[in-house]
Amino acid sequence: MAVYNIAIDGPAGAGKSTIAKLAAKKLGFIYVDTGAMYRALALYFIRKGIQAEETEKLAEALKEADVSIRYEAGEQIVLLNGENVNAYIRTEEVGKMTSVTSALAMVREKLLELQRKLATEQSVLMDGRDIGTTVLPDADLKIYLTADAGVRAERRYKELVARGESCDRMQIERDIILRDQQDMSRAVSPLRKAEDAILVDASFLTIDEVTEKILSLFEEAKKQKGK
Ligand code: DC
């Protein structure tokens, strides 16, 4: 059976993971959330009490950190030295640490091999920031999924309010813009659209509309490749 790779990159909050999960399910592909892997390493550094600027300590700690993934009922489980850390990696603290440590070349090198290996073994839909540009440059389909910063902030705000958390809508938008700048301006594997990626602007589309669009783009890509 042919192995297909779909790469989805884009800024935080554009709906990448929700859409990627849905599309992967419809296609029967494995969904690979690379952000979760970067988050697991950041969690390791936090647990060790290391600050983001302590590069030497980070390098030492990195040698002892092992990240792997497995799938349970279609759900990606991230293992940090064998421990399932899914419940601990979605906090603001881990998110902030991740945006700094994921800019380090040594951190990226550590995860690159694992990500590439997953994509050679089976058909995957992988989401992240550098999948189309660095991890899977030969992917069958590359999507750059984005949405207006104001729209992304509004969605995040509603999510937090629904969870009963108090938050400042303007602060959320400022944080989103700052996170985009950090991801796009770093020296190693910055977030950018691969030349052959298709830009999808999700600002005024529903999750289902974007998912359908990706599925039809994939059908077209398959026909073109004759795979
Ligand atoms: O997609 P996410 O919010 O889980 O990503 C968390 C952080 O990891 C974010 O700051 C960007 C970074 N990241 C990255 O640098 N490269 C990837 N392939 C995926 C995520």
* Residue type at position 30: I
Q: Give which of 124, 116, 121, 117 is closest to 24, Cα–Cα.
A: 124
Q: Per-residue pLDDT averaged across 12-19, rounded?
A: 92
Give the model's pLDDT for residue 143.
98
Give the model's pLDDT for residue 92.
83
- What does the alpha-carbon distance between residue 22 and residue 208 come to, in Å, rounded to a whole number? 9
Mean pLDDT across the chain: 94
What is the CA(36)–ligand 1 centre distance, in A? 7
- Beta-bridge partners for 145: 200
Domain ranges of the chain: 5-32+92-225
Give the model's pLDDT for residue 39.
98
pLDDT tier for residue 16 given thresholds of 50, 70 and 90 = very high
| Upper half-sphere CA count for residue 90 (Cβ side, 13 Å) | 6
What is the CA(202)–ligand 1 centre distance, in A? 19
pLDDT tier for residue 1 given thresholds of 50, 70 and 90 = confident
Ligand 1 nearest-atom number relative to CA 102:
15
Q: Which two tokens stand for residue 168?
A: 């400042």
130: Cβ below 6 Å to ligand 1? yes
Q: Which residue has the higher pLDDT, 227 or 163?
A: 163
pLDDT tens digits, one per residue of 155-178: 989 988 998 988 899 999 999 998
Q: β-strand 141-146 against 198-201: which pairing, if any? A: parallel
Q: Per-residue pLDDT averaged across 106-125, rounded?
A: 96
Tracing tokens 């995040």 back to the chain, one arrives at 156
Quickly list DSSP for 89-141.
Answer: SSSHHHHHHHHHHTTSHHHHHHHHHHHHHHHHHS-EEEEESSIIIII-TT-SE
Ligand 1 nearest-atom number relative to CA 131:
18
127: Cβ below 6 Å to ligand 1? no
CB contact at 8 A, 165 and 175: no
| The pLDDT of residue 227 is above 80 | no
pLDDT tens digits, one per residue of 187-217: 999 999 999 999 999 999 999 999 999 999 9
What is the CA(35)–ligand 1 centre distance, in A? 4
pTM: 0.93
Give the model's pLDDT for residue 194.
98
Give the model's pLDDT for residue 187.
92
What is the CA(168)–ligand 1 centre distance, in A? 23
If one residue of 8, 93, 98, 112 were mutated to test the ligand 1 pocket, choosing by the most ligand atoms within 8 A of its CB, it would be 98
pLDDT tens digits, one per residue of 58-112: 999 999 999 999 999 888 999 999 999 999 999 989 988 998 999 999 999 999 9
43-64 burial: b if 16+ Cβ within 10 Å, else e? bbbbeeebebeeeeebeebbee
CB contact at 8 A, 7 and 131: yes
Q: Per-residue pLDDT averaged across 146-156, rounded?
A: 95
The CATH H-level superfamily of 5-32+92-225 is P-loop containing nucleotide triphosphate hydrolases (3.40.50.300)
34: Cβ below 6 Å to ligand 1? yes
What is the CA(1)–ligand 1 centre distance, in A? 31
